[in-house]
Amino acid sequence: MKGNIALTFGILFCIFAYLYDPKTCRTYVRALLRFVNGGEEHSDDRLKLTVTVFSREELSKYKGMNGGDVYLALLGNVYDVTRGRKHYGPGGGYSFFSGIDGSAAFVTGEFNEKGLVDDISKLSNQDILGLEEWKSFYEKDYKFVGIVEGSFYDKEGNVRDMMRIYKKKLEDALLEKDLLDSDRQLFPSCNSEWAQNKGGRVWCSTKSGGISRDWVGVPRMYYATGSSKARCACVRTSGPPSYDPQSTSHKDRGDLDNPNLSLYPNCNADSISCPLPKK
């Protein structure tokens, strides 16, 4: 009984909320179902009831023809981009995105039939981070109106393999980014300059490579994991090595003994500035 009253109220609320923002409605229904189920977590099946699933054909009608609404899909999510008609509507510079899920092209820039697809399986992990940024952009600037049948969802709105592939790639991409970020902290890039007559020079300071720190370090050629080319890194010269920061038996040489480093020719081991070898 309690549930029925809540449900009736919920439906009324939703009719109004939907007009305002379908997402508010979804959040509300989620809370409501939890209440009706006595605090039990909702299942995805129930949540799905509240999301519009567009077929490809339905979505293709929203290209803004004759002043109509403009929708586009990204990662299976449909957004109302009518407000951005000048970009997405007929004659707009990005009208090829409207009425379809052209996810891949958001990072490949291939704005043709082959590129405007929702197959993201060939994209790099880096590309996936780009797609996440586009997703945040649409979530923030436009209204989510449903999902579309395609590689990410079937016509009932169940997730398909492409979604799992996406999630996995995203997870890997975030791990890679963490590694890269910590690499940038431990081995900050050097300052560098090059002059026609004097040749090149690399040197370290307390904020080279965009990393502010309380040590200067010395320039070394650094071969980062997964990279065949060396870059100039400023290497910490005291304290324990970064790969074993708790070490009590260290030689107080910082990261100097890391095997992935080599000295610049014509440069002293303790110099904070090194001339670059002539090409």
Ligand X SMILES: *[C@@H]1O[C@H](CO)[C@@H](O)[C@H](O)[C@H]1NC(C)=O
Contact footprint for ligand HEM (CB under 6 A): 84, 87, 94, 106, 109
E strands, 119-168, are 143-148
C-alpha span between 128 and 124 (Å, rounded): 7
Asked if 204 contacts 271 with a C-beta cutoff of 8 angstroms, the reply is: no
Contact of residue 225 among ligand X, ligand HEM, none (CB under 5-8 Å per partner type) = ligand X
Our finding on whether 258 is near ligand X (CB under 6 A) is yes
Q: Is the dihedral of CA 196, 198, 204, 206 positive or negative?
A: negative
Looking at the Cβ atoms of 87 and 135, the one nearer to ligand HEM is: 87
Asked if 173 contacts 125 with a C-beta cutoff of 8 angstroms, the reply is: yes
Stretch that binds ligand X, among 52-60, 105-113, 232-240, 256-264 (CB under 6 A): 256-264
DSSP string, 169-232: HHHHHHHHHHHHHHHHHHSPBPEEEEETTTEEEEE--TTGGG---S---EEEEE--TT-SS-EE
CB of 223 to ligand X, least distance (A): 7
CB of 84 to ligand HEM, least distance (A): 4
Asked if 100 contacts 72 with a C-beta cutoff of 8 angstroms, the reply is: yes
Asked if 62 contacts 69 with a C-beta cutoff of 8 angstroms, the reply is: yes
CB of 276 to ligand HEM, least distance (A): 33
Contact of residue 89 among ligand X, ligand HEM, none (CB under 5-8 Å per partner type) = none
CB of 225 to ligand X, least distance (A): 4
Instruction: Specify the 3-state DSSP secondary structure of 129.
Output: helix
Contact of residue 243 among ligand X, ligand HEM, none (CB under 5-8 Å per partner type) = ligand X
Our finding on whether 259 is near ligand X (CB under 6 A) is yes
Our finding on whether 225 is near ligand X (CB under 6 A) is yes
Contact of residue 258 among ligand HEM, ligand X, none (CB under 5-8 Å per partner type) = ligand X
Looking at the Cβ atoms of 109 and 259, the one nearer to ligand X is: 259
∠ CA 12-7-55, nearest 5°, is 70
Binds ligand X (CB under 6 A): choice among 243, 245, 248, 279:
243
CB of 224 to ligand X, least distance (A): 7
Residue number with the smallest Cβ distance to ligand HEM: 109
Half-sphere exposure of 150 (CA within 13 A, CB side): 27
What would the 3-class secondary structure string for 17-68 be? HHHHCHHHHHHHHHHHHHHHCCCCCCCHHHHHCCCCEECHHHHHCCECHHHC
Contact of residue 260 among ligand HEM, ligand X, none (CB under 5-8 Å per partner type) = ligand X
CB of 125 to ligand X, least distance (A): 18
Our finding on whether 228 is near ligand X (CB under 6 A) is no
Stretch that binds ligand X, among 58-66, 69-77, 170-178, 252-260 (CB under 6 A): 252-260
Please give the biggest Cα pair distance in the chain: 88
Where along the sequence are the contacts to ligand X (CB under 6 A)? 225, 243, 258-260
